Chain A
Amino acid sequence: MIEYYTLMHKGNAEEYTDNIFMNFDSTVTVLIIYSSKEDSPEFTEDDKSRISSMITGCRGIPFDEISKALERDIAQGIDYMLIHINDSMINIERHGSIFAGIVKNGELKRLPNGPFSIEDDDRVVCGTSEFFKYLSYPAVLSDALTAESSEEWMDNMVCRISEQNMLAEGNLTAVTLIVRKDDIKVLK
């Protein structure tokens, strides 16, 4: 099982214009669209509903196919990140200034594009560059290692951002994910 928590905060902007789309199955699909980025082409309501229905219906569709469809349907210049994650692997496709990091062996490592194996209690954070602007690697790592849940991890990172800018800057968009293999026990 994948435990997750999302942050969608408008900051001092008039509206929240980033987007997070998710689909829950044995594999969780996460799509973050960083449409609030300065000089980013407009991500219209039509685009939103088209992408939303694509992600809603993506169950069972291979990662590469979804990735190709997104490349076709999302306007060039819009930054986005697609993630497929289950309790044994994570696959990432990143376009532009959205980043993902994994906490492993006491370190935070940035995830490049491609598939990677993951284990129980591995912790992954992905978010826009606006979200990571005030967070150092040790800060993200330390909050991951002390948190009991994905929600607490996010809360602690948000407190750090708040200390720097009182959340009075751009849209903040991020997702924390924790692999929980032992969540369901089968009795025999």
Chain B
Amino acid sequence: MSDWNLIADETRALIAYALILFLIALCAFVYFHVYYRKSIKGVVTDETQLALDVAYFHEKGKRNRQEDAFYISPMDEIRKYGFTACVSDGMGGMRYGDEISQRITDSIKDMHPISFFACENNAEAIRKISNSLFEEYKQQGGATLVMIQIYNDHLSFYSVGDSDIILIRDDVATILNPRQNYVSILIRGLVRSGKQTQVAYGNNKARALVDYMGNHNPRVIYTKKPLRLFADDTIIVSSDGLTDAIPWKSIPQYVERSAVATATNLKMSVKQKKLPKQDNYTSIVIRLSRSIV
């Protein structure tokens, strides 16, 4: 007590000011950590934001011309509009496959920014693209289309035909989109009559498409509600040139922590197979990782 009295009045005043300032700083610190962080949690959290790492390859294979086409939305607009990517694969053996696939991806590009939430409208817009191709090309060509949209930690997708949207999670690959080919129709018929389905795979013609872009009013398969994504998921949007060369179930062994490394592994592996009839192969690889905002 006596020591405190020895300090000069001015010094005691300074110590008091310092204590008050310290208390104010402490209150501000507590407020920021407890209240402010809580109030912004609903808008942005490290849990809901996943960072996207994207890479692609677009190769001709043994074909004379490139009939695959693709589109990737601007990466610097992901926060604002989300991410869109699509691949279209011109139907081999038909005229205009290259023109049609390019027309499709150009039309998707023209639709940017595409609402993540208007799934039904987006599917309708894709159907309209197909109808305009039908008017112009009179079914003398066609293409498949697979398109994905990612917004925060959710995925929507659209598919016409038999190209692939592959999700790799926990080292297991899953093709997300049902294939629109005759095999699926044959299987349905066989199951309804209680039979096994070997016969559905015996005929190569059964792989033919029952719906495609360029057909009139094709059925666009799409997610009615988005699918939740997690950190470390990898998504591959590709033409069937990839899965013809590499069985889709073995794809996890090519997956690395970066999209570029995964894309490089896949591309090199297809090249090394040197298949004499290697189709065009195009893939967009998207790797998701946790991002702190």
By a CB distance below 8 angstroms, the chain A residues around B187 are 155, 158-159, 162
By a CB distance below 8 angstroms, the chain A residues around B178 are 143, 146, 156, 159
Interface: A89 (CB within 8 A): no
Interface: A138 (CB within 8 A): yes
Taking the nearest CB of chain B, how far is it from the CB of A178, in angstroms?
Answer: 11
Interface: A71 (CB within 8 A): no
| A142 & B174 in contact (Cβ 8 Å cutoff) | yes
Taking the nearest CB of chain A, how far is it from the CB of B48, in angstroms?
Answer: 12
Docked CA distance A12–B198 (Å): 12
Docked CA distance A145–B179 (Å): 15
| B228 & A11 in contact (Cβ 8 Å cutoff) | no
Interface: A10 (CB within 8 A): yes
Q: Name the one of A121, A142, A155, A159 contacting B176, with C-beta atoms under 8 angstroms.
A: A142
Q: Name the one of B196, B201, B226 contacting A106, with C-beta atoms under 8 angstroms.
A: B226
Q: How many residues of B contact A (CB 8 A)?
A: 31
Taking the nearest CB of chain B, how far is it from the CB of A175, in angstroms?
Answer: 15
Interface: B132 (CB within 8 A): no
Interface: B200 (CB within 8 A): yes
Q: Is the interface of B mostly helix, strand, loop or mixed?
A: mixed
Q: Name the one of B176, B194, B198, B228 contacting A105, with C-beta atoms under 8 angstroms.
A: B228
Docked CA distance A82–B221 (Å): 33
Interface: B197 (CB within 8 A): yes
By a CB distance below 8 angstroms, the chain B residues around A105 are 228
User: A138-B174, A142-B174, A142-B176 are contacts. A168–B198 as well, Cβ < 8 Å?
Assistant: yes
Docked CA distance A139–B174 (Å): 6
Contact with B along A85-105 (1 / 0, CB 8 A): 000000000000000000001
- Which residues, 120 to 144 on A, are CB-close (under 8 Å) to B? 121, 136, 138-139, 141-143
Interface: B222 (CB within 8 A): yes
Docked CA distance A162–B184 (Å): 10
User: A106-B228, A107-B228, A138-B174 are contacts. A166–B196 as well, Cβ < 8 Å?
Assistant: yes
Q: Name the one of B177, B201, B224 contacting A166, with C-beta atoms under 8 angstroms.
A: B201
| B196 & A145 in contact (Cβ 8 Å cutoff) | no
Interface: B108 (CB within 8 A): no
Known: A106-B154, A166-B201. 4 other contacts (CB 8 A): A121-B225, A145-B226, A167-B196, A168-B196
